Amino acid sequence: MPQLRLLHRRAWTVLLGQLRRPPGAVCIRAVRSHSQGQKYLQVAEALFASQLKPHQEKSNFIIKTPKGTRDLSPQQMVVREKILNVVVSCFKRHGAKGLDTPAFELKEILTEKYGEDSGLIYDLKDQGGELLSLRYDLTVPFARYLAMNKVKKMKRYHVGKVWRRESPTIVQGRYREFYQCDFDIAGQFDPMIPDAECLKIMCEILSELHLGDFLIKVNDRRILDGIFAVCGVPESKFHAICSSVDKLDKISWKDVRHEMVVKKGLAPEVADRIGDYVQCHGGISLVEQMFQDPRLSQNKQALEGLGDLKLLFEYLTVFGVAEKVSFDLSLARGLDYYTGVIYEAVLLQTPVHAEEEPLNVGSVAAGGRYDGLVGMFDPRGHKVPCVGLSIGVERIFSIVEQKMKTFGEKIRTTETQVFVATPQKNFLQERLKLIAELWDAGIKAELMYKNNPKLLPQLHYCENMGIPLVVIIGEQELKEGVIKLRSVPSREEVAIKRENLVAEVQKRLSES
Amino acid sequence: MPQLRLLHRRAWTVLLGQLRRPPGAVCIRAVRSHSQGQKYLQVAEALFASQLKPHQEKSNFIIKTPKGTRDLSPQQMVVREKILNVVVSCFKRHGAKGLDTPAFELKEILTEKYGEDSGLIYDLKDQGGELLSLRYDLTVPFARYLAMNKVKKMKRYHVGKVWRRESPTIVQGRYREFYQCDFDIAGQFDPMIPDAECLKIMCEILSELHLGDFLIKVNDRRILDGIFAVCGVPESKFHAICSSVDKLDKISWKDVRHEMVVKKGLAPEVADRIGDYVQCHGGISLVEQMFQDPRLSQNKQALEGLGDLKLLFEYLTVFGVAEKVSFDLSLARGLDYYTGVIYEAVLLQTPVHAEEEPLNVGSVAAGGRYDGLVGMFDPRGHKVPCVGLSIGVERIFSIVEQKMKTFGEKIRTTETQVFVATPQKNFLQERLKLIAELWDAGIKAELMYKNNPKLLPQLHYCENMGIPLVVIIGEQELKEGVIKLRSVPSREEVAIKRENLVAEVQKRLSES
């Protein structure tokens, strides 16, 4: 049994002082028991240590990022930049303009747009002035922009952070702060042409990112509403039942049915009728089948939705992506504002190694048609039909990161092309002169921030950072008016004329 | 006297229904008085109108962005992207790694870092959980990152939004939400080498952006503290007096002196002594002069600062930028965390046209050394010396935007290279097939989202949007297996083989 260690005199003072809140007697009694004594001993030592170091005053709180958020390290930034480049290039390829909106909106702009999820909105503190909330997605700000500026037609992309107070399960790439990459087409056009382009874009991006096989589930809110209607759901419960259906990708039909009947008060036979529909999925043939459905074909809304889906599949066939798309009656999408076609892309992931857990990332892209949202902001209710998509870059990022770890890929975190080094003392000014020349010529260059660095650490730094070229200057070189140029991979060195430095470096860099 | 107008029957119902809360009798009495009756009449009519137009319910609040914030239109996004490209390229040229931190931090991370400006921090509402604040700059999050990850050495850049509850004067490019572009060097190095690089970077960026002539004011917190000490300011007032000096670029010395004496309780003769110093500015010769100053040369801190400035000017001379830099004893910088050299770049602007108001944009870049900030976060108080700079892109953006307006420059908001058009009906499928080919080859292409568009609007769209090439398909072309390729600027058309489409378009685009 470990002995009660001797306490430093000051530690005792601290301990006794701290224990005074539960009165002194308690303290004395407590220390009489050995295990309690050990505990107090640790507390006292910690308190004592903190009193010795004035800097620790502030550190009773842990230095961390807020719950559900993270910093991105330089390695992670490189990966993210690559992913965003693919996404934005695709958006530009389809003729989209850029747009940016503030991180927060008037609180009223966001209310009644997100259904059951509204509780996840971050509000700002009332510090006198307007009531503000952090944006929850990029769609509502886009609709607000269109209404505010009376824009009737626009194809725009927007890459930006959004914030949701979700219970973060960080392993799966879900955060409270995350990037969204949105592409939307606003305007009155002939049916399903912009919708088909949105699906084409999702296919292009997911293919280009090499994430493995994927599938895009498609449905239509009007078909869902039609199903609810013909199954006997009262209209007042459409939204609630829709968000139950939305859970089918996470929980079983049995559990969804339970929620519908017990929580949302649906008659069991109505739930069962819904169940018969929402468990169907297939391609264009399922669309045809639903057209023949004796009950559904009586519903005007459902027929409109089915007609549009048929057209959509026609265009997707022309685009060569129809086989990536599945008509899935269980797809509901959580958000209130969708009015027509909706879609969601999921990865069909087989783990890289047999022993690996398949990474469950859920949907990696989603979107749909929302023809009523802009009208909600317009004083006269003028509608601007919209359709769009959002790429879940955060989840894609998790996958790419895991892949790189698996394959042990090394990432360069800088783009430095040349390092300016010296083997000798008192050459700082010469190095500064050289590097300024390189910078002024647009060459990416670094040096060591030391007056008299040793040569080896300078060369090691280049090897570690993957810098391909070193410019070396020493007494000999200075006297002869030359510079040594060293290739880091081959370790070969050549002397070149001082005045040819920039030209020679540029030549070397363009060759590699 | 206006007559009490007749109320519509339903309006009366609404009015009476609404007035029921203050009980019925009150209502009857109220309407008996004429002016009150008029008021209720208006209320009732408004209520009635709102009941007639269901869409208007929400629109009693104005659709706008929050105070001090704005959307960036596609035109503005193009300008911003260009500016950010110049800035980030320069940061990368100097070997910086990227880093990203969350938009908000634990509230405690930001407290006691910003002095008098702390009241401008946006807090988030307490929704159960941690107390959070939106970041006020990118420097404190960087220091938090270094301490949290025990990073002792790092050169990083960070481009991101920050938020400050300032009274916005939007004309001058000051917003409550704005971008900062920061470059910082953390680590223990030989004196003034990283500091000189920061100033070199500021010069490179400001030159490359073609903003006209600029000047970088340099000072050192230790010199200021030395001045305060030898002038007889009590040490407890150093921070307060420093922020008074900071106002010298906005208000006159007379007003600053008044603030020092009346508001901050400084003896008038002490203020006068400070005045003698802080009204000095010059080049390296002023550094020498201050070294000889009988009072200042007695102060150890001031001497350290002067020694470093001398070294800094040496390096700046080697970099070829010394003539852009002025030693200015009035420069104080508002933020509490600076410990050594500080700097701020201002534009020396002469208006483009004589009759134009010179655009007062204040400082466009600033920074300094903050050797104590990381230690404030480290549980053991371990210090990591840092020096950095921040580019005020928002103000630069205002200037560039104004310039472009002055010169009537037209900006392309999309990068579309090819438009797929048809002069005939029923060619949608053909157009979709063609455009998919172009997209799949990485070519930026658009088409009209119409089943049967007319040719002229399609060509007009290309001219308006600056799209250089049009691919035209019609019955004739389809029959002959060709495609018409039209140059928008020259209006010349040639027929090419259908199967050569992509190759031919790529050839044309690479030539232009």
* Average predicted confidence (pLDDT) for chain A: 86
CA-based nearest distance B147→chain A, Å: 8
Residues of chain A numbered 302-361 and touching chain B (CB < 8 Å)? 314-315, 318-320
Which of B134, B315, B380 lies nearest to residue A432, judging by beta carbons?
B315
Here the tokens at position A21 are: 């809140």
Nearest to A471 by CA among A453, A458, A463, A483: A483
Q: According to the model, what pLDDT value does residue B437 have?
A: 97
Q: Give residue-wise pLDDT tens across range A429-440.
A: 999 999 999 999
CB atoms B436 and A381 under 8 Å: no
CB atoms A71 and B439 under 8 Å: no
Confidence band, pLDDT 50/70/90 cuts, at residue A51:
very low
Q: Rounded to a whole number, what is the largest CA-CA distance in chain B?
A: 96
Tell me how far apart the alpha carbons of residues B33 and B10 are, in angstroms, rounded to a whole number: 21
Confirm or reject contact between B57 and chain A (CB < 8 A).
no
Please state the three-class secondary structure of B316-339 as a single string.
Answer: HHHHCCHHHEEEECCCCCCCCCCC
Which of A67, A177, A318 lies nearest to residue B130, judging by beta carbons?
A67
Q: According to the model, what pLDDT value does residue B161 have?
A: 97
CB atoms A189 and B449 under 8 Å: yes
Q: According to the model, what pLDDT value does residue A456 have?
A: 96
**Of the candidate ranges A11-15, A90-94, B345-349, B355-359, the one whose mean pLDDT is the lowest:** A11-15
Q: Which residues of A touch B156 (CB under 8 A)?
A: 74
**Of the candidate ranges A110-124, A344-358, B122-136, the one whose mean pLDDT is the lowest:** A344-358
Tell me how far apart the alpha carbons of residues A390 and A338 are, in angstroms, rounded to a whole number: 13
CB atoms A106 and B66 under 8 Å: yes
CA-based nearest distance A432→chain B, Å: 7
Tell me the mean pLDDT in the region A273-288. 90
End-to-end CA distance of chain A: 68
* For B64, nearest residue in chain A (alpha carbons): A148
Which of B67, B126, B433 lies nearest to residue A318, judging by beta carbons?
B433
Q: Which residues of A touch B77 (CB under 8 A)?
A: 97-100
Residue with tokens 């009072």: B295
Residues of chain B numbered 199-258 and touching chain A (CB < 8 Å)? 200, 204
Q: According to the model, what pLDDT value does residue B172 have?
A: 60
Here the tokens at position A76 are: 């992670």
Query: Are A329 and A231 contacting, i.e. CB atoms less than 8 angstroms apart?
Result: no
Residues of chain B with pLDDT under 50: 1-59
Confidence band, pLDDT 50/70/90 cuts, at residue A36:
very low
Confirm or reject contact between B84 and chain A (CB < 8 A).
no
Q: Which residues of B touch A69 (CB under 8 A)?
A: 102, 104
Pick A22 or A415 by higher pLDDT. A415
Tell me how far apart the alpha carbons of residues A506 and A504 are, in angstroms, rounded to a whole number: 5
Which of B55, B147, B436 lies nearest to residue A318, judging by beta carbons?
B436
Q: Which residues of B touch A440 (CB under 8 A)?
A: 204, 320
Confirm or reject contact between B100 and chain A (CB < 8 A).
yes
Q: Which residues of A touch B81 (CB under 8 A)?
A: 98
Q: According to the model, what pLDDT value does residue A360 have?
A: 55
pLDDT above 70 as % of chain A: 84
Tell me the mean pLDDT in the region A457-479. 96
Q: Which long-range contacts (CB under 8 A, 24 or more apart) does B347-352 make?
A: B347/B206, B347/B211, B347/B212, B347/B213, B347/B214, B347/B399, B348/B212, B348/B213, B348/B214, B348/B215, B349/B212, B349/B213, B350/B212, B352/B403, B352/B406
Tell me how far apart the alpha carbons of residues A384 and A374 are, in angstroms, rounded to a whole number: 6
CB atoms A156 and B319 under 8 Å: no
Q: Which residues of A touch B105 (CB under 8 A)?
A: 65-66
End-to-end CA distance of chain B: 74
Q: Which residues of A touch B104 (CB under 8 A)?
A: 66, 69, 177
Confirm or reject contact between B481 and chain A (CB < 8 A).
no
Q: Give residue-wise pLDDT tens across range A306-323.
A: 999 999 999 999 999 999
Query: Are B275 and B253 contacting, i.e. CB atoms less than 8 angstroms apart?
Result: yes
Q: A449, A454, A470: which to substitute to probe chain B, counting the most B Cβ within 10 Å?
A: A449
Q: Cα Rg for chain A, rounded, in angstroms?
A: 32
Q: According to the model, what pLDDT value does residue A24 have?
A: 33
Which of A72, A106, A145 lies nearest to residue B99, judging by beta carbons?
A72
CB atoms B103 and A177 under 8 Å: yes
Q: According to the model, what pLDDT value does residue B62 have?
A: 86
DSSP state of A124: B
CA-based nearest distance A126→chain B, Å: 7
Q: B50, B64, B104: which to substitute to probe chain A, counting the most A Cβ within 10 Å?
A: B104
Residue-wise burial string across A224-233, b where 16 or more C-beta atoms lie within 10 A, e elsewhere: bbbbbbbbeb
Residues of chain B numbered 435-474 and touching chain A (CB < 8 Å)? 436, 439-440, 442-446, 449-451
CA-based nearest distance B37→chain A, Å: 28
Q: Give residue-wise pLDDT tens across range B283-309.
A: 888 999 999 999 999 999 999 999 999
Here the tokens at position B5 are: 């107008």
Nearest to B473 by CA among B421, B416, B438: B421
Q: According to the model, what pLDDT value does residue B26 have?
A: 31
Q: Is the pLDDT of residue A63 over 70?
A: yes
Q: Cα Rg for chain B, rounded, in angstroms?
A: 32
Q: A55, A131, A450: which to substitute to probe chain B, counting the most B Cβ within 10 Å?
A: A55
Confirm or reject contact between A376 and chain B (CB < 8 A).
yes
Confidence band, pLDDT 50/70/90 cuts, at residue A282:
confident
CB atoms A100 and B93 under 8 Å: no
- H-helix segments, A279-427: 284-292, 300-319, 373-377, 393-407
**CA atoms in the 13 A half-sphere facing the CB of A300:** 0
Q: Per DSSP, what are the bridge partners of residue B72? A: A100
pTM: 0.85
Query: Are B346 and B227 contacting, i.e. CB atoms less than 8 angstroms apart?
Result: no
Q: Is A96 helix (H, G, I), strand (E, B) or coil?
A: coil
Q: Is the pLDDT of residue A15 over 90?
A: no
Here the tokens at position B116 are: 């008098």
Task: Enter the ipTM.
Answer: 0.84
Tell me how far apart the alpha carbons of residues B300 and A344 are, in angstroms, rounded to a whole number: 67
CB atoms B104 and A66 under 8 Å: yes
> What string of DSSP letters covers A155-181?
EEEEEEEEE------GGGT--SEEEEE
Query: Are A302 and A185 contacting, i.e. CB atoms less than 8 angstroms apart?
Result: no
Q: According to the model, what pLDDT value does residue A48 have?
A: 40
Measured over the CA atoms of residue B434, residue B439, residue B441 and residue B442, the dihedral's sign is positive
Q: Give residue-wise pLDDT tens across range A163-208.
A: 999 876 655 657 999 999 999 999 999 999 999 999 999 999 999 9
Which of B59, B99, B315 lies nearest to residue A77, judging by beta carbons?
B99
The residue count for chain B: 512
